Structure 1
Amino acid sequence: MLPIRRAALLLPILALTLSASNCKKVIVEAATPKLPEATQDGKNTFGCKLGDKVWLPGSDHMLLPPLDADLTGTGFTLRASDDHNDAPGWEEFNLSLNTTSFVPGTYTLRNGLTARYWSRENDLNNIEDYIAGSGNTGTLTITKVEPRTKTTTVLGNTVTSNFTVVSGTFEFTATTSAGKTITVKEGRFDVQAF
């Protein structure tokens, strides 16, 4: 009879231990950054893997938006930044595509694409500037280009704005002037370009 009692006492303790370890696992998984879904609705999302780390834009203030997209008659520019208080302090991706015919398709470093990643500490020291140049590889695949109009009411006035949904994927390697190289992969974005 004694072994059954011990088992009966140990069973709730074992269940609590397993339950606590599962909670810890759920909390860790929820805190781990994940790439945004690959959407095509103008949700203003951006994400990539910088090496093996998921990189997402973010801002500690409202003065500078962490994601900005411009579409003009000469091309498309996308800037994503993270101005956080921990090291390195400020990071930014810049993707540009010079073309007068902006349509879905895959563009490379040799046909109009420029790609750059840079970082610095909050005190403006230790700037690292990675530029995708002739010795690097890189592609930008535009999957959607769709002009849209949005009408809203601001202080009783109707305001109409025109923008273009631009969605796609990207990957590239880039190098500093000192020869350090980074790999950017699984990049994706879904933005409203003005």
Structure 2
Amino acid sequence: MKFTITKQKNIFIASFLFLLIISTLSACKKKKIEPKLPAVTMEGKNTFGCFFGSDIWIPELTLSNSLMVDYSDRGMLIIECKRRDRTNVKGSDMMTIKIKDIFQPGVYEISEVEVSSGSEHYFLDDSGKISITLIDNNRHIVSGTFDFQLKERSSSKIIHVSAGRFDVVYINY
């Protein structure tokens, strides 16, 4: 009788441990990390982000030259940002924003925007605004926010680009 009780006790403990391990392992699921826009800063943190329609556009850090910014002493600012193509894992989407005559903080008209996203190509539909909050020529930092509207070349589909922000160390050319 003693042997049977000990055997039943061992089976019960083994079953309990097995169920405990299975329930613990099934609770360990990887959480998908949703992208989010970077904070609005003015410290040269090399950040960029915006809403591209309802999608978030941030640089894909695994791509070479995913965020490039050029600023000339003639006041031309060019921002290029690459992200992973949402339809083709081997490709990348590119957004290029150009602004002329920027010499100090203020609100400016965006001169040109080009976006290639998969097989779609967009251009500036209406005037867009960019607010330059910092130009630091000693530390080569430019920061600001932007909003504009794009039109797809072949279909005339409209995309709103909103809540844009950047805080980057630029290359002076």
**TM-score under structure 2 length normalisation:** 0.73
SS in 2 for 1:184: strand
Aligned to 1:46: 48
- 1 CA distance for matches of 2:34 and 2:153? 32
Shift of 1:59: 4.3
**2:128 corresponds to 1:138:** yes
Aligned to 2:115: 117
Amino acid at match of 1:186: A
Shift of 1:91: 0.7
The correspondence for 1:168, drawn from 144, 152, 162, is 144
Q: Number of aligned pairs?
A: 144
Larger Rg: 2
Aligned to 1:78: 79
Aligned to 1:91: 93
Contact 2:134 2:141 in 1 (8 A): yes
After the TM superposition, which segments of 4 or more aligned residues of structure 1 sit over 2 Å from their partners? none
Contact 2:37 2:50 in 1 (8 A): yes
Instruction: Report which of the two has the higher share of strand.
Output: 1
Shift of 1:119: 1.6
- 2 CA distance for matches of 1:103 and 1:94? 21
Alignment of 1:20-59 (within 5 A): 27-28=31-32, 31-59=33-61
Contact 2:99 2:109 in 1 (8 A): no
Aligned to 1:182: 159
Task: Indicate the percent of aligned positions where both proteins have the same amino acid.
Answer: 32
Unpaired stretches in structure 2, ≥5 consecutive residues: 1-22
SS in 2 for 1:27: coil
Shift of 1:116: 2.2
- 1 CA distance for matches of 2:124 and 2:107? 16
CA 1:59–1:87 in structure 2 vs 1: closer, same or farther (change >3 Å)? Answer: farther
Shift of 1:27: 2.9
Shift of 1:71: 0.7
- 2 CA distance for matches of 1:137 and 1:40? 25
